[in-house]
Amino acid sequence: MEQERVIEVLKEKFEGEILQIETHYDFLTLSLKKDKIVEIIHYLYHHPDTKFQYLTTLSGIHYPDLNQIAVMYQLHNLVSNQRIRIKTYLPADNPVTKTLTPVFLSANWMERETYDFFGVRFEGHPDLRRILNVDEMIIFPLRKEYPLEDQTREDKNDNMFGR
Amino acid sequence: METVTQNTKPLTLGEKPEGYEGPGFLATSLEKVVGMARKNSIWPLPFATSCCGIEFMATMGAHYDLARFGSERLSFSPRQADLLMVMGTIAKKMGPVLRQVYEQMAEPRWVLSVGACASSGGIFDTYSVLQGIDRIIPVDVYVPGCPPRPEQIIDGVMKIQHLVETESLRRRDSKEYKAMLNKYGIE
């Protein structure tokens, strides 16, 4: 019911930006084009029927088969206790998108984390550098092309552990 | 002249070192006296980052009581500590911090690596975790376990005590020791 209203509000102004609308476990998930993502979130922030004024999380997802990196936003309306998820897809070779910091200051560290682990560059971010990993790291470790195990470890072999 | 019994030790307050003994005196080497004094007054610096640190708390508690070994006085400043006890997972980002703590300790200094994570990275075979602290600082004794029981930690401390007691007073000035430190890029 309320989810339909959110879709209506979005379609009023940004009909052409919607790629896909899904509901996973009652969680409305919108896939949108990347160009106007900041305007859309700004619009949903201020519209009286949506008021998504709390950014729960912002993260990346690597889809190696599609050669794409998605940026996923989860928003929360604290009045009606309603949540939505918004995804935008970027090419994995050059993942660049606009920063959400003008709308949510809390996006600052989340975007730094997404840069740290997926290499997504957020244009206009005030201080885009690694936040959790060591500064000397040269890879983006949560991209699936990198092995999870530490490659410098020598003591693990099949003879000892039967893996 | 009395002979020092080797197998059946009488219960004494301090184990007296070997030496020439007569009524009211004991002649022995300075090295042995210093070793005995150091062994029973080790100030540990707990560097606890995860569950091994919880086991260490049990070790310091009344039941296991590390104070019985003269190590109840924890030093939370590295400059006054003799023994660095690394207990828990050391992330790569923590590596330089641990190394700085080690460098701030005055000689003579010993390092006890408690638990699988500190010794080898343990189950955390991943990009963000240091695969054993011996990649950045020299380690004297390793305690296995995930996490080790307090008895094992006490055993590790006793092994350190043995090293402290028997270490030559000139070891820290030796060429070999300096070469070992240089291998880690220290000094």
Identify whether B178 is part of a domain. no
Task: Give a yes or no: residue A161 inside a domain.
Answer: no
Residue A139 to residue B127, Cβ atoms within 8 A = yes
pLDDT at residue number B21: 86
Secondary structure E strands in B35-140: 44-48, 83-87, 110-114
Nearest-CA residue of chain A relative to B119?
A155
Whether B77 and B105 have beta carbons less than 8 Å apart is answered as no
- pLDDT tens-place string over residues B69-109: 888 899 999 999 999 999 999 999 999 999 999 999 998 99
- Report whether pLDDT(A36) > 70: yes
> Can you state the angle between helices B30-39 and B150-166, rounded to 10 degrees?
160
Return d(Cα B78, Cα B107) in angstroms, integer. Answer: 11
How many A×B Cβ pairs under 8 Å? Answer: 31
User: pLDDT for B108-149, tens place per residue?
Assistant: 999 999 999 999 888 898 889 999 999 999 999 999 999 999
Per-residue pLDDT band for A95 (boundaries 50, 70, 90) equals: very high
Selecting from A132, A134, A149 the residue whose C-beta is nearest the C-beta of B126 gives A149
Say whether A133 and B128 touch across the interface (CB within 8 A).
Answer: yes
- The answer to whether residue B69 is domain-embedded is yes
| CB contacts, 8 Å: B116 with chain A | none
Query: Per the domain annotation, does A144 fall within a domain?
Result: yes
* pLDDT at A160 (0 to 100): 64
What is the side-by-side strand order in the sheet with A18-24?
A: A18-24, A27-32, A82-91, A68-77, A54-63
CB B86 within 8 A of CB B118: yes
> By C-alpha distance, which of A70, A142, A73 is closest to A106?
A73
Q: How confident is the model at residue A153 (pLDDT cuts 50, 70, 90)?
A: confident
Inside any domain, residue A112: yes
CA distances from B3 to B6, B19, B26, B165 (A): 9, 10, 12, 21
- Asked whether residue B16 is assigned to any structural domain, the reply reads no
- Asked whether residue B18 is domain-assigned, the answer is no
How many domains, chain A?
1
Domain that holds residue A71: 2-149
Provide the domain count of chain B. Answer: 1
To the nearest 10 degrees (0 to 180), the angle between helices B150-166 and B51-60 is 70
What mean pLDDT is reported for chain B? 89
The total number of residues written for chain A in this structure: 163
Tokens standing for B43? 């100030």
List phi, psi (to 5°) of A81.
55, 45
A132 CB neighbours in chain B (<8 A) are 93, 128
What are A's interface residues with B at a Cβ cutoff of 8 A? 132-134, 137, 139, 141, 146, 148-150, 152-153, 155-156
Residue B137: other Cβ atoms inside 10 A: 21
Would you say residue A159 lies in a domain?
no
Tell whether A155 is covered by a domain: no
Instruction: Please state which of the ranges A55-59, A65-69, A149-153 shows the lowest mean pLDDT.
Output: A149-153
Tokens of A27: 């969680």
Contact A28, A2 (CB under 8 A): no
Nearest CB among A139, A146, A153 relative to B131 is that of A153
pLDDT given for residue B106 in this prediction: 93
pLDDT at A142 over 80: yes
Q: What is the CATH number of the domain that holds B120?
A: 3.40.50.12280
Q: How far is B93 from chain A (nearest CA, A)?
A: 5
Looking at the domain assignment, is residue A84 inside a domain?
yes
Euclidean distance between CA atoms B104 and B96, whole angstroms: 12
Range of the domain at B80: 36-168
Q: Give the number of other CB atoms < 10 A from CB of residue B109.
A: 19
CATH number for the domain that contains residue A97:
3.30.460.80
* Residue of A139, A148, A156 with shortest CB distance to B126: A148
* pTM for this predicted structure: 0.82
- By C-alpha distance, which of A47, A58, A39 is closest to A5? A47
Structure tokens of B123? 């189950």
**Residue B164 domain-assigned (yes or no):** yes
Residue A115 lies in a domain: yes
Distance from CA of A134 to the nearest CA of B (A): 5
Chain B, nearest residue to A155 by Cα: B120
Say whether A90 sits in a helix, a strand or coil: strand
Q: Chain B interface, mutation test: which of A113, A134, A136, A144, most B Cβ atoms within 10 Å? A: A134
Residue bearing tokens 């004297």: B140
Q: Which residues of A touch B125 (CB under 8 A)?
A: 149-150, 153, 156
Contact assignment for A155 to B92 by CB distance below 8 Å: no
Q: Is residue A77 part of a domain?
A: yes
Residue B43 lies in a domain: yes
Residues of B near A (Cβ–Cβ under 8 Å) read: 92-93, 95, 120-121, 125-129, 131
Which chain B residue is nearest to residue A151, measuring alpha carbons?
A: B127
Residues of chain A found within 8 Å of residue B126, distances taken between Cβ atoms: 148-150
> Tell me, what amino acid is at B129?
V
